[in-house]
Structure 1
């Protein structure tokens, strides 16, 4: 089994997105899923070696369900067009997310639309020491790897309790504190794909550490 076969499975699933097709190909699905879980187990071990605060996360714990939640999104297809997985998982903290699909592939980390308590904690940390966060965001290797923060649903005014002329107002207006790194299919199919993700993880680590510290202190 390989990532090439994983992509082939996702393409087939996308073209026959129904339970009947999945039931007929359930054995193949489990073979693909088991391959990816084992691959995640190997990556989990490598990440644990470079980060003393890493929370070991087995591939089975990391991988997301391939079924869409039709209760809340009834218009979505029955099955997703990707495999998603989150490593370094700990409740209340941002994980290291890997998204491998037929339409987009990327890794991400941080907090995507966090609940109010977490968002308030992140803003408080920026208010107290935004200079450290800016240094992380503006580091050349970080910007080359991730670009800028994801900016969506950004406040047009200042958050409650902060002045419009606050030194870090542009950061404080964010509702999401996360970054992404796009992956190509060619990168995923290479033998050194795990090593590439290890390098991305290292580059993202100060960013995630800052945010995780903000929501736990």
Structure 2
């Protein structure tokens, strides 16, 4: 995968974020998309060898659309400034997300503002065994890669059914349970990029497993 070519394409797209430009450069886009899918396919096989519970996710299934959803976000540009994909993506589970873009590159995972039923399950899991989650996110290597949970909107008070003096109230008030690791373009362009992905994936795995166990009915 020629990531420099991908960055060049995305940079030009952001300077010409319009259907007319995309139509004129459709061949370039399709070539890059095909290469990215092939790269994801190979990465998927590499990741599947890391542990037995990995959920195979072909590149075509994992890759996200480059079009923004203008129905719900009418003020956004037509096209995104990145290529993104989810791997190890079992239905209704916390996936592993890769984003390569001109403004940011990142590796992330978890649940971003999950639906009420899923959110309730996560909170019930914390109520039952919040100590395990606290230990996962307090691990020095975890904090080094992710800092902590993704900062998003939080409840002011305890969620319904939980006490304000709950020992894990800070966790329970979260609406998002996700982490991310930011990278720069030089890391993506380096020969060690895929090795970096594996390191971040394995460090994140206990966190994602905790969430998946909590949300498994």
- TM-score of Structure 1 vs Structure 2, range by shorter chain: over 0.9
1-structure distance, mates of 2:180, 2:74: 28
2-structure distance, mates of 1:14, 1:116: 35
In the alignment, which residue of structure 1 is the partner of 2:152?
Answer: 152
In the alignment, which residue of structure 1 is the partner of 2:204?
Answer: 204
When the two chains are superposed, the root-mean-square deviation of aligned CA atoms in Å is: 0.9
Q: Map 1:107-118 onto structure 2 (within 5 A).
A: 107-118=107-118
The secondary structure found in structure 2 opposite 1:110 is strand
1-structure distance, mates of 2:130, 2:212: 15
Offset at 1:139? Answer: 0.4
In the alignment, which residue of structure 1 is the partner of 2:45?
Answer: 45
Which runs of 5 or more structure 1 residues have no equivalent in the other structure?
none
Q: TM-score, normalised by structure 2?
A: 0.98
In the alignment, which residue of structure 2 is the partner of 1:65?
Answer: 65
In the alignment, which residue of structure 2 is the partner of 1:34?
Answer: 34
In the alignment, which residue of structure 2 is the partner of 1:171?
Answer: 171
Q: TM-score, normalised by structure 1?
A: 0.98
| Deviating 4+ runs (over 6 angstroms) | none
Offset at 1:51? Answer: 2.0
1:109-140 per-residue CA deviation (whole Å, 9 max, x = no partner) reads: 00000000000000001000011110100000
2-structure distance, mates of 1:61, 1:111: 19
In the alignment, which residue of structure 2 is the partner of 1:74?
Answer: 74
1:5 lines up with 2:5 in the alignment: yes
Which runs of 5 or more structure 2 residues have no equivalent in the other structure?
none
